[in-house]
Amino acid sequence: MRIFVVDAFTDQAFQGNPAGVCLLEKPAEPRWMQAVAAEMRHSETAFVRALDEGFELRWFTPATEVRLCGHATLAAARAIYAEGLAEPWQTLEFSTLSGLLTVKQEDEGLRLDFPAVPAERVEPPAGLAAALGAEPVFTARNAQNDLLVAVPDAAVVRGMRPDFALLETLDARGVCVTAPADAEAGDADFVSRFFAPSVGVPEDPVTGSAHCMLAPYWAERLGRDTLTGVQVSARSGKVGVRLEGGRVHLTGQAVIVLIGELMV
């Protein structure tokens, strides 16, 4: 079966967030999909299976299945269009653990329609500042058990060197650190980084699902529903976000860098 590596939320190879994409020819056992994801070693590998209408989509990190993943959805859509499994004008419909998700090709890139996952303010967990090496100015938690941590400025986000062993002990699936954008981020409104050692991903290069939490946070503070985020990991990537009620539209580019044949 066909398997891909796609760099998501970028228009350049070897930037953005690489995802595996496996186009299934028949239903697969979760244990097998988990083994393939561990073999691929990307932060997520997407498994796509055509249905009578639309596609089934599941995402696995090297360690576990996750309920929502933006960059691997973007990558899956790019592979589907490239393989001619859908016409360029067609909206893709994915049945997932987070419900029905859609992707559509537009002039600005691929647009994902995802649920918003706003975070509610909480007290910083014990050990958070020590794990990040920075004092939060705001901490919140969402329904996916991700922490949103605001810090004073983009330089703190860029310079952060977390203690991953300590970070893994926190009660959180992932920790998203954010701040207002600086000049280095170009036309962006905010910057972020995302750490998830508890699910086998020390740092995720560009995280679509985190922007479902970042969008309502920054929309409220900046007074606008249409924003641009830059995730300032070593690979970096840009995510356009538009908040519409309980949904977030994520827009980005994706580049196929490898196509292969999975033999087992």
Query: Is 44 noted as a catalytic residue in this protein?
Result: yes
* Residue owning tokens 């952060």: 160
Say if residues 48 and 80 touch (Cβ distance below 8 Å).
yes
- Integer angstrom CA distances of residue 91 from 53, 116, 161, 185: 12, 20, 40, 31
Q: How far is CA 224 from CA 75, 192, 216, 217, 262, in A?
A: 28, 18, 10, 11, 45
Which of 44, 220, 244, 261 is flagged as catalytic?
Answer: 44
At 101, phi and psi to the nearest 5?
A: -120, 145
Distance CA 142, CA 122 (A): 10
Active site residues: 44
